[in-house]
Amino acid sequence: MIHRENLIRQFNPVLNNIAADSPLTVGNGSFAFTADVTGMQTLYDIYSDKCPLLTMATEAWHRTPNKEGSFYGPENIMMTEYQRDNRALRYPVKCFTGNEEEYNWLRENPHRYNLLRLGLKLDGREILPSDLSDINQTLDLYTGVLTSKFKLDGKRVKVETVAGSGMSVAVRIDSEILKDRLSIEAEFPYASPDKTGSDFGSVDRHSTLVQPAPKDNKKTVLLLLRKMDEVEKYVHICGEVEAELTDTHKVTLSIPDGRKKSMSFCISFSEEKGRPKTTGYRQAFEQSGKRLYAFWNKGAMIDVSSSPDKRASELQRRIILSMYLTFIQCTGKLPPQETGLTCNSWYGRFHLEMHPIHAAYLALYGRGDLLEKSLDFYTNSLKAAKKLAGDNGYAGARWPKMTSYLADQAPSPIAPLLIWQQPHVIYMLELLRRARYSEHRAEVPLISEEEFLEKYKDLIIETAEFMADFAEYDEKNNRYVLKPPLYSVQEKGNPEEIFNPPYELAYWSFGLETAYRWMEKLSVKKEKWLKVARLMAKAPVEDGLLAAYEGFKGTYDELNMDHPSMLFAKGFVGAEVDDEILKASMERMKETWDFDSLWGWDFAFLAMTYAKLGMYDEAFDMLLYKTSKNTYAVNGNNVQGTRKDLPLYLPGNGSLLLALSAMKSTEKWYVETEGIMKYPF
């Protein structure tokens, strides 16, 4: 039996100095607050260049009006036209002269933004690193409470920070200098699509207005209305605190009369004026504790810490921190962006090809409800996805790569031509189905299997209809093929030459056959899907090795960078590939590939391939491969080398947990599990 609480707390992150690359975050899956060593965002400017200190929410989106005061739409973009046999295909790929403003606007909008900066002030001034000493900060992973102890100008200060329900952060401060020297400032920025999501300079482009609190709400000390273009949000400041709007967008919080050494407060954002979900520190503390207790004690746990391999403790640390980080940042109502709710990447827009890489593991770990919340995005976006398919004459629903809550397709040199995100929703739904209704289930279902199948029937049908229509029949060779223009997972090469990339071929076959089996359970026959699945072209082989795409001989010396996706299909969806060819291809990849160009999730996918081949020691070695993009900071963030735009990369964390579901014990590694469903494909 795994003693979960002891195991989890063993890896509580502890900081004893300012670590601008490793701030700690509290959150609830839809809201997150990232703090420096003061437990707030006091040293905002020092952290901004590395890992910024932001307050972000799944629901916090903004569109910047264009110079006419309106918003652009897809009709404003100049399309790139491609010829595919007798069919003209139009995608927003190239940025044409005269169309730059519209192109870039549609890439950047809508974007996520920073709700708030919350920081300490000493004698009314900004606090400097030199003011701080004796730093000791601990994040209790088991309860979600961040405790920060330090001396400020030689005086002791203790700060506790937690995330409440909804969009709320709560803080308790204890210090003898609260009465006369220490205060807190809350500042509200204008939105920005950049990494920080913040524009503190544009004070005239938004408003922060004091509002009368509702008569039935006795908890709110100060109620504000934030207006920013089309965005409106109420801000409730509650607790044992005095709060006053002291500047255009700044609120000063101070200790109330009658108190000497402690104060606590909660700041909540909502669309409504009424009482917020969290109204004080004690309530937020209890909400956080219950939330994390339920997360850690429901579903699976993995313990490799007793393994003989000297790297076991580091792998266990990555496991625990990855579970925490993906829970607090990747379990909202929308697919997560690659930097979660810590900061903006690609303007805060999420990439659908990364959705299962972040979160599919949840189904196998008995926490499928946390994954299923975000699947409503697909159901709600079917109309937009069907239009995207129909714009080029295809049937069904086509899922974009880079998008937002609008399910819009962002213009990009690559994104509109990427296709491997298309079967993802079928893959995730099938994981959920097996985790709930198979003999190896990981959780108890709340509805019958038939109800589950019916609930997602339309989503399965429309997704598969596009896939069956997109694949073209090659009469000469009696097979279905994937023709250009397209990009494979690797995102390298000429999209007008990429033909039959192996991962996509296997995933198309898997997705269509899985969709067929779903509908068969509902007594509906979709023979076209099964035919396409069974006749999909085989993985291309050149000179005895798996190729990046059919007819290309330079895979291991010209395109030996980024994702080696020609090696992924057997591990991910159990594709039929000759084992000897696959092993030879893996060896050649290890000899020739630029490993510094791999992304955080590539190592997990390679490990899954090794696991499928029964090479479990090699799989563990790949999970822990030492290279710049497979490092994990003190806070658990998967750091992507020297890339300043990606101070963290949550697909690395999520993929690690997915890969571990496929692992077995060896002489070097002892894998103890509770409640996990073995990877089924």
Supply the pLDDT for residue 274.
84
Q: Is residue 227 part of a domain?
A: yes
Contact (Cβ atoms closer than 8 angstroms) between residue 105 and residue 411: no
How far is 330 from 326, CA to CA, in rounded Å? 5
CATH code: domain of residue 217: 2.70.98.50
| Assigned domain for 226 exists | yes
State the pLDDT at residue 680: 97
Q: Domain for residue 85, yes or no?
A: no
> How confident is the model over 25-43, as a mean pLDDT?
99
Q: Is 107 helix (H, G, I), strand (E, B) or coil?
A: helix
**Rounded CA gap, 397 and 468, in Å?**
11
339, 427, 430, 465, 521 from 423: Cα distances, Å? 23, 6, 11, 11, 19
Q: What is the pTM of this model?
A: 0.97
512: phi then psi, degrees, rounded to nearest 5? -70, -40
What confidence tens digit (pLDDT) does each residue in 405-434 have?
999 999 999 999 999 999 999 999 999 999
Nearest to 263 by CA among 137, 366, 176: 176
Burial 440-479 (b: 16+ CB within 10 A, else e): eebbeeeeeeeebbeebeebbbbbbbbbbbbbeeeeeeeb
pLDDT band, very low/low/confident/very high, at 353 (cuts 50, 70, 90): very high
Q: What is the pLDDT of residue 268?
A: 98
Q: In the prediction, which pLDDT does 477 show?
A: 98
User: Residue 257's pLDDT band (boundaries 50, 70, 90)?
Assistant: confident
Q: Are 501 and 549 in contact (CB under 8 A)?
A: yes
Q: Is 181 exposed, middle or buried (0-12, 13-18, 19+ CB in 10 A)?
A: middle
Residue 228 belongs to a domain: yes
Whole-number pLDDT of residue 449: 97
- Is 356 within the bounds of a domain? no
Give Cβ neighbours of residue 214 (< 8 Å, ≥ 6 apart).
220, 273, 274, 275
Which pLDDT belongs to residue 219? Answer: 86
Inside any domain, residue 160: yes
Q: Is residue 259 part of a domain?
A: yes
Three-state SS for 372?
A: helix
619-673 pLDDT, tens digit per residue, is 999 999 999 999 999 999 999 988 999 999 999 999 999 999 999 999 999 999 9
Q: What percent of the chain has pLDDT over 90?
A: 96
Residue 200, pLDDT score: 98
Asked if the structure places residue 57 within a domain, the reply is: yes
pLDDT in tens, 198-217: 999 999 999 999 999 877 77
Q: Give the total number of structural domains in the chain.
A: 1
Q: Helix 502-521 to helix 424-437 angle, to the nearest 10 degrees?
A: 50
pLDDT at 216: 75
* Average pLDDT of the residues in 257-264: 88
Domain housing 133:
4-62+116-295
pLDDT grade for 547, boundaries at 50, 70 and 90 = very high
Q: Could you say which DSSP state residue 333 is in? A: S
The 10s digit of each residue's pLDDT in 67-120 is 999 999 999 999 999 999 888 999 999 999 999 999 999 999 999 999 999 999
- Tell me what the mean pLDDT of segment 557-581 comes to: 97
The two three-digit tokens of residue 441, written as one number = 């289930």
